[in-house]
């Protein structure tokens, strides 16, 4: 097994921004928190931006409030001179803050209660990704930290993180919005005519279907977009530039399952085409067995023989546990090997499946140490 790993500690000691991406539920938040903790205990001033952490993990980092403010995590080892601040992203709050900083109080109030705005800021697909980027930009600008570790929102596809903000930007800068704000600007003459009629039909239909108030709300919303959200797309592009700067690295998290590995592969390829720096892939929740020379077949046959004899029920059960585990480990190992051979230039580190959820600093430290040194339980010698 001469597979290439990547040097997590070297990365932690030098990077300025680390972004953890991956499909839903693979361990992005856990990995981000573990990296941040390790970085801090190695002496850096670290801030970790988490998104919807599991409740107990959040509590263990002292994150009891969703208030968008980084707070110091007590109980870390500061002997190397580092520190750790952690925060949970409040997507809506972040959006509201953009509104508040870009308009006077009365106007801000009107926008914040506008139903179209409320819908956009709380449930538009992609808002969370956009706001994560926005927040990252703010944290970076504050210059309080050496290293910012960013978790990404749960989404089906890891690519959403790269695509969603632009999608939101496109939508807000889109034809429809432009047309509603200033039809005259919308384009050439022929276009203009279709558009003007289109807008009329649109407002008529809206009036009929939703009633007059909705139309008023919509115009207010659109007018406010015009004055304060102008250049939404540029804003998204700006923050994305940050991701291409030196000092930023991506870590793609996956578990040894088909869908998650496929997402990881897409993501790795995409980073390559966009010239975004990939540090490597974390293969999380990998099973292994320290007794791999006792094969699945032999264990099951032995368990059956014991069953027949009616003796030693405990040993028969333990043999079945082993056979089960070895089968899973074998499958994980094959999938990991497949991924490695399909992406020979990508560094991969493995983290063992822990026997329980990761919900305290001790658990995060263990993950951090595996990220740097490989699984600490016996090396995964996989049969088959």
Ligand X SMILES: Nc1ncnc2c1ncn2[C@@H]1O[C@H](COP(=O)(O)OP(=O)(O)OP(=O)(O)O)[C@@H](O)[C@H]1O
Residues in Cβ contact with 77 at an 8 Å cutoff, skipping those fewer than 6 apart: 41
Q: Give which of another protein, Mg ion, ligand X, none residue 30 binds (C-beta under 5 to 8 Å, depending on kind).
A: ligand X
CA angle (35 as vertex; 162, 161 as ends), nearest 5: 10
Q: Which is nearer to ligand X, 24 or 183 (CB)?
A: 24
Q: Looking at 33-41, 191-199, 227-235, 275-283, which segment touches another protein (CB under 8 A)?
A: 191-199
User: Between β-strands 83-88 and 71-72, what pairing exists: parallel, antiparallel or unpaired?
Assistant: antiparallel
By the rule CB under 8 A, 379 interacts with another protein: no
Tokens read off for 220: 């207010």
54 part of the interface to ligand X, by CB under 6 A: yes
Tell me how far apart the alpha carbons of residues 47 and 84 are, in angstroms, rounded to a whole number: 6
Residue identified by tokens 């009329």 is 200
Q: Which stretch binds another protein (CB under 8 A): 86-94, 310-318, 340-348, 361-369?
A: 310-318
Rounded Cα–Cα distance for residues 342 and 352 (Å): 22
Residues 272-311 that bind ligand X (CB under 6 A): 284-285
Q: Which stretch binds Mg ion (CB under 5 A): 26-34, 68-76, 217-225, 348-356?
A: 26-34
Confirm or reject binding of residue 29 to Mg ion (CB under 5 A): yes
196 exposed, middle or buried (CB, 10 Å; 0-12, 13-18, 19+)?
middle
Nearest to 326 by CA among 286, 291, 370, 356: 291
Q: Verify binding: residue 59, another protein, rule CB under 8 A.
A: no
For 261-314, where are the E strands, in sequence order?
278-286
Question: What DSSP designation does 277 have?
Answer: P
83 touches ligand X by CB under 6 A: no
The only residue of 29, 127, 224, 248 in contact with ligand X, by rule CB under 6 A: 29
The span of 37-45, 69-77, 239-247, 308-316 binding another protein (CB under 8 A) equals 308-316
Residues in contact with another protein by CB under 8 A are: 24-25, 54-56, 115-116, 118-120, 123-124, 154, 156, 171, 174-177, 179, 194-195, 197-199, 201-202, 204-206, 208-211, 213-214, 217-218, 289-291, 293-294, 298, 302-303, 305-306, 309, 311-322, 324-325, 355-357, 359, 378
């Amino acid at each position: 097994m001469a597979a290439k790993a990547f040097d997590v500690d070297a990365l932690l000691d030098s990077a300025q921004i680390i972004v953890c991406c991956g499909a839903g539920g693979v361990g992005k938040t856990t990995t981000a928190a573990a990296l941040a903790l390790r970085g801090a205990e190695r002496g850096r001033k670290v801030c970790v931006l988490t998104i919807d952490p599991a409740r107990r993990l959040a509590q263990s980092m002292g994150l009891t409030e969703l208030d968008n403010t980084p707070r110091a995590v007590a109980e870390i080892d500061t002997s190397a001179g580092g520190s750790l601040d952690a925060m949970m992203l409040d997507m809506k709050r972040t959006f509201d803050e953009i509104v508040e900083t870009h308009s006077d109080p009365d106007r801000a109030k009107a926008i914040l209660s506008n139903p179209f705005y409320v819908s956009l800021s709380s449930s538009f697909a992609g808002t969370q990704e956009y706001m994560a980027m926005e927040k990252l930009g703010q944290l970076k600008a504050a210059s309080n930290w050496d290293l910012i570790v960013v978790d990404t929102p749960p989404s089906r596809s890891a690519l959403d993180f790269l695509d969603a903000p632009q999608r939101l930007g496109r939508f807000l800068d889109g034809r429809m919005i432009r047309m509603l704000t200033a039809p005259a600007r919308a384009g050439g003459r022929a276009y203009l005519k279709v558009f003007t009629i289109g807008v009329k039909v649109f407002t008529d239909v809206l009036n009929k279907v939703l009633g007059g108030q909705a139309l008023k709300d919509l115009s207010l919303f659109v007018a406010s977009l015009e004055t304060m959200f102008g250049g939404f797309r540029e804003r998204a592009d700006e923050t994305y530039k940050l991701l291409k700067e030196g000092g930023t690295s991506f870590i793609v998290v996956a578990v040894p399952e088909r869908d998650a590995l496929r997402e990881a592969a897409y993501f790795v390829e995409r980073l390559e085409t966009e010239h975004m720096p990939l540090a490597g892939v974390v293969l999380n929740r990998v099973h292994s067995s320290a007794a791999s020379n006792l094969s699945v077949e032999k264990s099951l046959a032995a368990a059956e023989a014991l069953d027949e004899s009616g003796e030693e029920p405990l040993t028969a059960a333990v043999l079945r546990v082993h056979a089960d585990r070895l089968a899973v480990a074998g499958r994980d190992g094959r999938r990991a090997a497949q991924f490695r051979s399909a992406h020979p230039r990508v560094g991969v580190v493995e983290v063992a499946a822990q026997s329980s959820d990761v919900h305290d600093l001790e658990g995060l430290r263990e993950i951090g140490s595996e990220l740097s040194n490989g699984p600490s339980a016996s090396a995964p010698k996989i049969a088959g």
